[in-house]
Structure 1
Amino acid sequence: MAASLPTRVTTTGPADTAETDATAAGAAQVDAAGAERAGRVASVCGLTRVFGERTVIDGLDIDIERGEFVALLGRSGSGKSTLLRALAGLDPEASGALTVDGTVAVAFQEPRLLPWKRVIDNVALGLDRPKEAAYAALEEVGLAGLAKAWPLTLSGGEAQRASLARALVREPDLLLLDEPFSALDALTRITMHRLVLDLWTRHAGLGVLLVTHDVDEALRLADRVLVLGEGRIAYETRVGVARPRSTGDLVELRADLLEQLGVKEDHR
């Protein structure tokens, strides 16, 4: 097991998630020094997380460049969401050095909308800015017409759009996506993939880390794909095909990633 280091989460702005601001603030120690290296929106060095006798993350290192779209793959229980929570400043038990240059926002697998608040109020939750900013974010994700709707009346895709609007209204430098499309049907997922890429393109300099178990999703969306194994980054590759992509353009790379995840394709 890697040596345990004091946890250090460095940000130049507040972390913001669907959970309470107090939780995030309590987990993150703010250091005005900012990122250690220019151009990187996030840097992780020697991250370790132990649950009981099990080491889930073991001395992990990862950097995310400003404006880069990174996908993180791994088997169930490999620590993907654990890494994301550490980057969000939501895991005070993680040890290592984490540096985030700017603000962080998270969209989780579950939209986590408060059912007793209308959509617009969910998006504006905790904002110091006027509610007009929340309306603008809803318009950006195509939900302006449902601003006054109750969350329980939304479809799965609409709820995830609202969750994205709530993250984007904070104008984050780093957007963390924790399997936000896994519960959606195939057609809705395609629509959400296009939306996320469009939002990422429009928000210049936005760094994205997408946690997913879907190899095809990672290949369609990311600039770089990482595979988490044995508590560390076991494999990484860049995706050198211009968007929009189909997995037919990336047959060999897809096979390599599946093999890294322990899946061998039968080509007969």
Structure 2
Amino acid sequence: MITRSTLLHLRIPFSIFLMPVFCFAASQAVHLTWQMYFIVFVILHIFVYPASNGFNSFYDKDEGSIGGLKNPPKVNQDLLTTSLIFDIIGLFFSFAFVNWQFTLLVFIYGLMSKAYSHPSIRLKKYAIGGWLTVGLFQGACTYLMCVLAFEKDFLTAQNGFEVFFQQRHLFAAGLISILLLGSYPMTQIYQHEEDSKRGDKTISLLLGIRGTFIFTILFFGMAAAGFYFYFSTYQDEFYFWLFQAFLAPVLLYFVYWTFLSWKDAKQANFLRTMLLNVLSSLSMIAYFTVITLIKFL
């Protein structure tokens, strides 16, 4: 029986914030089927991501707000056990319903998420190392992992890793990592005090509140330029402008929040951070789902 504390720390609804990467991969896969879409969604968002959340919470033992939980309950041993069981289920389903290549990538993702939190390594306490780990593995690695699963029946090479050598997919994977590298510091902006107490020097703590906003603006600018080139080259310029239309509410809120936080640092809080996460995640999920559906019409 999973305890209420454990269920809350698994933060299954929080997986929606990682869903845009999955949706982007689905929108760019040539041979996507709805069956594989559902299988990969369940593996990642019901098992793999919650397992990572639970493992992270067990070793962090946060007392203040964390992503998806304003008032996290105390953790217990059941949380660690459950997170590892979820990992095993995710790997089993990956091997049973996708292939061994996808399973290997899920396993590597799981190892890196544990290295991020476990006290023997704890990449989280290193500003640059933790930032790069999240950006590359939740971004590029997850994108390529999903595309590999979606295209598995059409890969011809014996090793099944062709997507890692396709220029279009490598470009797309790089773009989604740039987006995450820019947005991830914003998710840490309200945790400076607690991170300092634990000795975790996050990238947002290193940058400061103003620096975090400026840093995110720069990376989002790079991502926007990259997406313009990507859609103009591999699809149609129309898709870039449609993307900007879907992201307009996020941009307006971000600008508004930036001005508020520069006047009063207390505005860089949990609730405003979660609102930005919800707005940006839902906007990107909606956009990538729309262009996925266009392929089937």
The two structures share one fold, judged by TM-score above 0.5: no
**TM-score range with shorter-chain normalisation?**
under 0.3
TM-score normalised by the chain length of structure 1 = 0.26
When you count helix as a share of all residues, which structure comes out higher? 2
TM-score normalised by the chain length of structure 2 = 0.24
When you count strand as a share of all residues, which structure comes out higher? 1
